[in-house]
Chains A and B, each alone.
Chain A
Amino acid sequence: MVKVFAIILFTGVLTENFVLRQFLGICPFLGVSKKLNTAMGMSAAVIFVMVLSTAVTFPINKYILEKNNLTYLQTIVFILVIAVLVQFVETVLKKFMKPLYNALGIYLPLITTNCAVLGVVFLNLDKISGGDLNFLSYPYSGSLVNSLGAGVGFMLAMFLFAGVRERMESCEIPKFLQGLPITLIAASLTSVAFLGFDGVIEGIFK
């Protein structure tokens, strides 16, 4: 069981990295990766929201939508539920956990229905219906671990890229590449670097 979860987790972090391999959540990736501490705050919020939204949408999908043959409503229902959930969590944090609210506060509403958050929910369901063996044995807990892995992968990508961007600050960049163009080029190179993780997970655990 631990092995299965470890495979799911590391697949989510490395080989199926959300930002650098699946190109989800690019907006926050480019938007807040300028400084390391904001990047870390944002990533923490992403991990939190990803796990939470998977935990809630999974039962809704299974016991309400699938039972009534309404899976075509997934998108709208998930967006609704995740948005409400994040709002609710924000209120609760503000009341009971002020330090955590101050740390995550401004990022929570930003990622309410970020494509990476919605993406991880759908990918979990896809994996289960697609017959992924790891997921079939533990559908719910496997989904949760995969969400955690996706979040940690997002954090890893943000961490790496914040470093890259801080290095680029002191470089002399040709005028036509300054700003977003060079950032996108750097992002694609970082993404290519992640190709190297293909097959690594299988090699370690099998």
Chain B
Amino acid sequence: MYPILLAVIIVAGIGLISGLGLAVAAKFMAVPVDENAENIEAVLPGANCGACGFSGCSGYAAALAEGKTKDTALCAPGGSEVSKQIAEITGLAAGEVLPSAAVVLCQGNYHNTGDKIVYSGAKTCKMANQLYGGPKDCSYGCIGFGDCIEACEYGAIHICDGVARVNPLLCRACTKCVKACPKQLIEMMPLNEAKAAVLCANKDKGAVTRKLCKTGCIACTRCVKACPEGAIAITDNCAEVDYSKCTACGKCAEVCPTKSIQIIDLQKAMRKTGA
């Protein structure tokens, strides 16, 4: 016989049989994949930030497809745009995602506060926090080793004079930094309107705070009295603003002796940095 012909026939035969076998198997054992889930996942930004409360984008997509949640407006990085697209795929109602950005509520930079210890350990906020609450005088303020920078997938955070700052232009509101900060100093603030914010979290008594930081909230209650809306309250020696009541009139910022309460207008800040 022709040995070459036989070899070709055998290899081609094995290939043909196995190819047919695979095709048949794929046909008869196909597992129905939920197309909705795949389509939704394609629309989602893929940051897997977990801001929606599910285990990443595929988790949220699966939950939407299976009808576990009907809220299409949970994706903060995607915003209203993604909500609209999800609504188109699933037939659910589109929701409005209020644009927001992270803000670091601390002004304790090198000019305003000093160091109480010389810290030479691992340069992470979490580690430093366990040693007398960080190297800075104020043990409530930003440590400045950048755990939030590590957490941020969009490169929106940088350290400026020892305090973390968020660039609202780059922030996609995934809230990863909020979870990463051991001092719980980062808060989500609305992007589309200005609000007063207390840029301090110090819970020491006023006199102590004053010694520690030039711009700490000393709980003098002047802002509480100045606010026409009654939006400010003092708890644990630190003022707090109720954003739902605040109209950003600016009266609190005027009377604050340490300038620890300020009007945060992220849109204005974006225009400034964007231009």
- On A, residues with C-beta under 8 Å from B are 60, 64-65, 68-70, 73, 76-77, 80-81, 84, 87-88, 91-92, 94-96
Knowing A64-B10, A68-B6, A69-B3, say if A94 contacts B29 (CB, 8 Å).
yes
Knowing A76-B11, A92-B29, A95-B29, say if A70 contacts B6 (CB, 8 Å).
yes
List 8 tightest A-B contacts by C-beta distance, closest first. Answer: A84-B18, A95-B29, A91-B25, A91-B29, A94-B31, A70-B7, A88-B25, A68-B6
> Does the CB pair A87–B31 fall under 8 Å?
no
Determine the chain A residues whose CB is within 8 A of the CB of B29 once the complex forms.
91-92, 94-96
> Does the CB pair B14–A81 fall under 8 Å?
yes
> Does the CB pair A73–B10 fall under 8 Å?
yes
- On B, residues with C-beta under 8 Å from A are 3, 6-7, 10-11, 14-15, 18-19, 21-22, 25-26, 29-31
Contact of B18 among A65, A68, A80, A91 (CB under 8 A): A80
Determine the chain B residues whose CB is within 8 A of the CB of A69 once the complex forms.
3
Contact of A88 among B6, B7, B15, B22 (CB under 8 A): B22
Knowing A68-B6, A94-B31, A95-B31, say if A73 contacts B11 (CB, 8 Å).
yes
- Whole-angstrom distance between the Cβ of B229 and the nearest chain A Cβ: 53
> A96 to B21, alpha carbons, bound, how many Å?
17
> Does the CB pair A87–B22 fall under 8 Å?
yes
> Does the CB pair A77–B31 fall under 8 Å?
no
> Does the CB pair B31–A80 fall under 8 Å?
no
Determine the chain A residues whose CB is within 8 A of the CB of B19 once the complex forms.
84
**Taking CB as reference atom, which chain A residue is nearest B21?**
A88
> A189 to B124, alpha carbons, bound, how many Å?
34
Determine the chain A residues whose CB is within 8 A of the CB of B22 once the complex forms.
84, 87-88, 91
- Whole-angstrom distance between the Cβ of A36 and the nearest chain B Cβ: 22
Q: A70-B6, A70-B10, A73-B10 are in contact. List 18 more A-B contacts (CB 8 A).
A: A68-B6, A68-B10, A69-B3, A70-B7, A73-B7, A80-B11, A80-B15, A81-B14, A84-B18, A84-B19, A84-B22, A88-B18, A91-B26, A91-B29, A92-B25, A94-B31, A95-B29, A96-B29
> A87 to B21, alpha carbons, bound, how many Å?
10
Please list 9 pairs of residues, one from A and one from B, whose beta carbons are closer than 8 Å in the complex, sorted by A's number.
A70-B3, A70-B6, A73-B7, A73-B11, A77-B10, A77-B14, A80-B11, A81-B14, A96-B29
> A90 to B6, alpha carbons, bound, how many Å?
31
> A88 to B23, alpha carbons, bound, how many Å?
9
- Whole-angstrom distance between the Cβ of A45 and the nearest chain B Cβ: 19
> A73 to B10, alpha carbons, bound, how many Å?
10
Determine the chain B residues whose CB is within 8 A of the CB of A76 once the complex forms.
11
> A84 to B23, alpha carbons, bound, how many Å?
11
Determine the chain B residues whose CB is within 8 A of the CB of A87 once the complex forms.
22
> A43 to B196, alpha carbons, bound, how many Å?
58
- Whole-angstrom distance between the Cβ of A78 and the nearest chain B Cβ: 10
> A60 to B14, alpha carbons, bound, how many Å?
10
Determine the chain A residues whose CB is within 8 A of the CB of B18 once the complex forms.
80-81, 84, 88
Determine the chain A residues whose CB is within 8 A of the CB of B25 once the complex forms.
88, 91-92
- Whole-angstrom distance between the Cβ of A31 and the nearest chain B Cβ: 22
